[in-house]
Amino acid sequence: MNPAVHRLADTASQIPFSTLLPASPLVLITGGAGGLGREIALQFMARGARVHVCDIDAKRLAEFAEQHDASQLRTSCADIGDARAAERLFEDVAAWGDPVSVLVNNVGIAGARAPVDELTDEAWLESLQANFLGATRCVRHVASGMKQARAGVIVNISTVSVRTLPPSRAPYIVSKAALESLSMTLARELGSFGVRANIIRPGGMDNDRLRQVLARVAAEEGLDVDVLLAREMKHVWMRTLVSMHDVASMVLYLASDAAKHVTGQVIEVDGGVDWEG
């Protein structure tokens, strides 16, 4: 990545938390055992926040928790797509003794890949449960505490695919579009209580998940992975993948006083994507 971009991202991550939030806010991040979720957690902890992470990957959660003191990081193995598991998650979160100040709905399963006329009810429900209803469950549990505190930040991680609309990805796209509509509703309904809600749409991120996708597609098309990546980058104005660091830094920006009047917004961190195949 361009060193200048790194400096800008680092500067954003050093902006103080909103003065309306506690000095060491409690941050809940879903899907946080690895990838973007872990990067968001690390940046919040580096700034002194207390972080609770949930994920379905028990092994990665345990490894993450071992690296940090329980006074700063706690974890729950929970599938928020399951209502009972979500209830257990919030029993764990309650053990902190403080309300959640920042909620980051980061879960995003890829879901079924098929033409719309081949999708079953089960395929639709899988994506909606994980990517949308899981987020509504988290909102339901944190909103009253935020309203009472008259402060709070909700950041929902969507995808640039809601705009570019790649074919055979309908359950994923629709579930994330629903999450965006939820964000707008929250921004209006909770705004008078000092609670802000925004959406981040990442583009292709340089992470394990994307590399696995590239490897699969390259194998299907008989291409070298680097050739496939170069082809895809032709549709990104900046000709580069996005770093998880930069996306996470945008989350921290939205939790800061620099964004104290930013709510109901869709913010793309994608390098300028104009098409996806």
Per-residue pLDDT of the chain (277 residues; tens, 9 = 90+): 444 334 444 544 566 889 999 999 999 999 999 999 999 999 999 999 999 999 999 999 999 999 999 999 999 999 999 999 999 999 999 999 999 999 999 999 999 999 999 999 999 999 999 999 999 999 999 999 999 999 999 999 999 999 999 999 999 999 999 999 999 999 999 999 999 999 999 999 988 888 888 888 889 999 999 998 899 999 999 999 999 999 999 999 999 999 999 999 999 999 999 988 7
Same domain? For 200 and 218 the reply is no
Q: Pairing mode, if any, of strands 266-269 and 195-202?
A: parallel
Taking every pair of Cα atoms in the chain, the longest distance, rounded to a whole number of angstroms, is 57
Q: What per-residue confidence (pLDDT) applies to 132?
A: 98
pLDDT at 4: 38
Q: Is residue 115 part of a domain?
A: yes
Of the candidates 109, 259, 149, the one whose C-alpha atom is nearest the C-alpha of residue 197 is: 259
- Name residue 103's beta-bridge partners: 28, 154
> How far does the chain reach from its first CA to its final CA, in angstroms?
24
Whether residues 211 and 76 share a domain: the answer is no
Residue 276 lies in a domain: no
Domain that holds residue 100: 3-205+243-269
Q: Answer yes or no: do 201 and 83 share one domain.
A: yes
Q: Is residue 139 part of a domain?
A: yes
Residues 6+ apart with CB under 8 A from 211: 225
- Our count of domains for the chain comes to 2
> Is there a single domain that holds both residue 27 and residue 97?
yes
What stretch of H or E contains 155? strand 152-157
Tell me the three state secondary structure of residue 146: helix
Task: State whether 15 and 97 are in the same domain.
Answer: yes
Question: What is the per-residue pLDDT for 3?
Answer: 42
Residue 5, pLDDT score: 38
CA dist 109 → 173, 218, 228 (Å): 11, 21, 23
pLDDT at 8: 41
DSSP β-bridge partners for residue 17: 256
